[in-house]
Structure 1
Amino acid sequence: MSIQTLAVIDDDAAVRQSLLWLLASDTLQVSGFDSAEAFLADPRRESFNGLIVDLRLSGMSGIVLLQTLAAWPYCPPVIMLTGHGDVPHAVAAFKMGVVDFLEKPFDDQHLIEQVNHCLQQDQAARALHLHEQRVHLTLATLTEREKEVMQLVLAGLLNKQIAEALHISMKTVEVHRARVFDKMGVKSAVELAGVIASLAGGGGRG
């Protein structure tokens, strides 16, 4: 089984160290950061499979860090910790997609379960993100004419109708259609529609 990675961002050294001890295992590598700034400066920042973030960090707060992460192309699942029951911040954090908002002291077993949930969620979300990246890169290789043909195929037009709409021969349509299918890795218009629909339906926090 491959090793997954988790970042713990907490300026309380005792809490940070206890989390590193509690969560580290043969299949989970846990790294600690004493500030959001330290985490963002780390070259591994976008490769972590999950984040545990303290709300009241010195310097950049946990909420501001969440706002920063929201601008990333892909953000791993986040568990937020707080030393105080803070309903407005909890609501804000959940709106930004955190998996859980835990008040210290928290139940160790519950935290472990939530971390495992994060890692499972990341695996599926990251796979979708990578798929979307590949599709976008492939779309960028299509010529303008191939894109025009693809849009009309997706609109349900037959080759003859596409030829009339674009003022080209049916043979030319067939060539462009075949090239689109080949580049997109599909064998039918239905498969092509599914690939494009996956882009519209994907996204969101991991």
Structure 2
Amino acid sequence: MSHETPVVYVVDDDVSVRESLELLIRSAGWQPETCGSAQEFLDRPRPLVPNCLILDVNLPDLNGLDLQRLVSVERTDMPIIFVTGYADVPVTVKAMKAGAVEFLMKPFSDEALLSAVEQALDRSRTALVLDRELRTLRDRHASLSRREQEVMTLVVSGLLNKQVGFELGISEITVKAHRGQVMRKMMARSLPELVNMAARLSLSDARRESERR
């Protein structure tokens, strides 16, 4: 399999379900990874390609909804498709509210599952792109000197160069020099673009938190 081949995890304690889904997933051109328990799944390394999780609601060790909570925090690029052998409206509602792509009743058609997987992998691709972009922004921000980071935070908060200089106890000319370096290192073509970058990095939130202290 190519390293770019999407990975589809199946967590179900029914071996016959795992085997049938493994064949279906492989026939669609994706890489199946099957697990009989939540812990077995959690022990697997996190994939760096588009991926999703087909998850049975009832597992022998950890409830499907509990596993969903862990995945939603630790693996934000892994959408979940729930499958279950019985109808449970409250559980379905909880799962969907928590971001599940689909909730399928067994037995479900191959078409329904494959459609849900396609949708989940599309979500995963988008999440991976956003995650890579955020990591790039963090690396750029880390390349700034401490003073440049301070100038950036104040500039994106709406302060003029003169006001930034007053806040930091430096001249307006020095602020302009630091601001130019910030724009270059962050690869921002305009102030609005820099403001957007800062928002993604939550710099304004960090400043408000420090001011409260």
Residues 45 and 125 of structure 1, relative CA distance in 2, 3 Å threshold:
closer
Residues 160 and 73 of structure 1, relative CA distance in 2, 3 Å threshold:
farther
Question: Aligned equivalents of 1:184 and 1:112: distance in 2?
Answer: 41
Task: Verify: 1:70 aligned to 2:72, yes or no.
Answer: yes
TM-score of the aligned structures, taking structure 2 as reference length: 0.85
Runs of 4+ in 1 over 6 A off after TM superposition: none
Question: Aligned equivalents of 1:74 and 1:118: distance in 2?
Answer: 12
C-alpha RMSD over aligned residues:
2.1
Offset, 1:55: 0.5
Q: State the Cα deviation string for residues 90-111 of structure 1 (Å, max 9, x = none).
A: 1111122110111111122111
TM-score of the aligned structures, taking structure 1 as reference length: 0.87
Match of 1:22 in 2: 24
Q: Is the 8 A contact 2:57 2:83 kept in 1?
A: yes
Match of 1:155 in 2: 157
Within a 5 Å distance, the mapping from 1:1-206 to structure 2 comes to 2-25=4-27, 27-44=29-46, 49-72=51-74, 74-199=76-201
More displaced stretch, 27-36 vs 71-80: 71-80
Structure 1 unaligned runs (5+)?
A: 201-206
Q: Percent identity?
A: 38
Structure 2 unaligned runs (5+)?
A: 203-213
Offset, 1:126: 1.1
Q: Is the 8 A contact 1:154 1:189 kept in 2?
A: yes
Secondary structure of the residue aligned to 1:70 is helix
Residues 165 and 199 of structure 1, relative CA distance in 2, 3 Å threshold:
closer
Q: Is the 8 A contact 1:7 1:48 kept in 2?
A: no
Higher relative contact order (CA 8 A, sep 6+): 1
Match of 1:203 in 2: none
Q: Is the 8 A contact 2:77 2:127 kept in 1?
A: no
Secondary structure of the residue aligned to 1:24 is helix
Offset, 1:175: 1.8
Aligned residues: 200
